Amino acid sequence: MYRSGSDAPRPTVPRLSARRAYGIQRWVAPNRFYRAVARRLVRMPLAYRWFTAGERIAKQRLFGCRMCAQCALPVTGYACPMGCPKQLRNGPCGGVSPAGACEVYPEMRCVWVVAVERAQQGGHESDLLRLHRPVDHREWGRSSWVNYWLGRDDNLWTSADLRAGQPIHAESPIHAESPIHAESPIHAEPPNRAGPVS
Ligand code: SF4
């Protein structure tokens, strides 16, 4: 979603080291407990709102999160691609300087340069070969953790195998179970859209 003014996306360098961020990942991985919590939150708008507010504070401070609710961090070296002024989720634009500076904010490093550096630090370079699904703008402001725990963003990106030159269709989770259509958990079970985030 394009935004301007003080709300415009700006590249952010994560405050959490790549090693620590990858380490924390296993503590928030979906399990029965988290799924139960997430299901309860969806049924309780006020609790959902408080939970989402906490998530917003934590992730904004640590990663410059903009609450797109379809979190790409685990496969972008924990550098948020939504801080890119063009909000590119599949790599940098052509305007990155040879030194790695953002075209729009030359004083900042391109989020994708940061993503590559951090993925390399964590030994996760192959993550950057994945193809990301377009953002569902109806989800903005919602909890990405709840979406993650409930499996609503299971098909946010393809496997890294696309580098082998396979066609994007059929093998790609994006197209095999297209989340753009009705069968997407995101779309099939709109979680009380009017409630928690309004
Ligand atoms: S939820 Fe979206 S905006 Fe927030 S950190 Fe993840 S990718 Fe960035």
Q: What is the pLDDT along the chain (198 residues), one digit of tens a residue?
A: 445 566 899 999 999 999 999 999 889 999 999 999 999 999 999 999 999 999 999 999 999 999 999 999 999 999 999 999 999 999 999 999 999 999 999 999 999 999 999 999 989 999 999 999 999 999 999 999 999 999 998 889 998 776 544 444 434 444 334 343 333 333 434 444 433 333
Q: Is 73 in the pocket of ligand 1 (CB under 6 A)?
A: yes
Half-sphere exposure of 22 (CA within 13 A, CB side): 16
Q: What tokens does 44 get?
A: 């309780």
Tell me, yes or no, whether 174 lies in a domain: no
pTM of this prediction? 0.79
Q: Are the CB atoms for 157 and 130 separated by under 8 Å? A: yes
Q: Are the CB atoms for 120 and 13 separated by under 8 Å? A: no
- C-alpha 112/C-alpha 19 separation (Å) is 17
Tell me, yes or no, whether 64 lies in a domain: yes
Tell me, yes or no, whether 195 lies in a domain: no
Q: What tokens does 14 get?
A: 């994560």
- Ligand 1 centroid, distance to 70 Cα (angstroms): 6
Tell me, yes or no, whether 52 lies in a domain: yes
Tell me, yes or no, whether 166 lies in a domain: no
Tell me, yes or no, whether 160 lies in a domain: no
Tell me, yes or no, whether 179 lies in a domain: no
Tell me, yes or no, whether 13 lies in a domain: yes
Q: Is 21 in the pocket of ligand 1 (CB under 6 A)?
A: no
Give the total number of structural domains in the chain. Answer: 1
- Domain span at residue 56 reads 5-152
